Amino acid sequence: MAVRKILHYPDPVLMEKSVTVTEFNEELRQLAEDMAETMYDAPGVGLAAPQIGVLKRLVVIDCSSNEEPNDLIVAVNPEIIASEGESVEEEGCLSVPGFWASVKRAEKVTLRYQDVVGNTHERTSDGLLGVCMQHELDHLEGILFVDRLSPLKRSMFKKKYMKMLKEREQNAAEA
Ligand code: NI
């Protein structure tokens, strides 16, 4: 197992579409383990494969907030097969550090996905877990939560974030 490097916005890999997983082999299980370790280490409640530079349809999610037992979901080729209602929650992303914003999503979603050996599962969730599922699935389409903001808020984000990146680079250069 290994903690992998998380790519940050505006890395172009984060804007790419991921491909369907067809081989349920040891390599896939290793990737899923590394992703879970990387998510817990960050710490975060979800991580999609493209965030570590792997363009495969695989996400890991755990919204149990350190409760025991944990609730790790490893979802291969996930798709939302039903959704209802509307909710607006504040979101952040390990690939967009230091920035949070309210995003409109469905209130309740049903996720169909495969596990690492290829068996199919379904799970219906609302609340944080439902939001997290929708956020992670967006990553597989190359969509970040900031892409779902209004044009005005999005341009404010870009200005603020790029300024922050610049300051970080300057600080690093001076250190
Ligand atoms: Ni994210």
Question: pLDDT 10s digit of each residue in the chain, 175 long?
Answer: 799 999 999 999 999 999 999 999 999 999 999 999 999 999 999 999 999 999 999 999 999 876 777 899 999 999 999 999 999 999 999 999 999 999 999 999 999 999 999 999 999 999 999 999 999 999 999 999 999 999 999 999 999 999 998 998 899 888 7
Residue ranges per structural domain of the chain: 12-174
d(CA 7, CA 116): 23
Right CATH for 12-174 from 3.30.1330.10, 3.90.45.10, 3.20.20.120, 3.40.50.20: 3.90.45.10
Ligand 1 centroid from CA 63, angstroms: 13
136 is catalytic: yes
Predicted pLDDT of residue 10: 94
pTM above 0.85, yes or no: yes
Ligand 1 centroid from CA 139, angstroms: 7
d(CA 87, CA 103): 8
Tokens 């209602």, located at residue = 85
Active site residue: 16, 68, 84, 136, which one? 136
Ligand 1 centroid from CA 140, angstroms: 10
Q: Alpha helices, DSSP H only, in the chain?
A: 26-41, 127-140, 151-174
Ligand 1 centroid from CA 43, angstroms: 12
d(CA 133, CA 126): 9
Ligand 1 centroid from CA 148, angstroms: 12
Structure tokens at 100: 């949070």
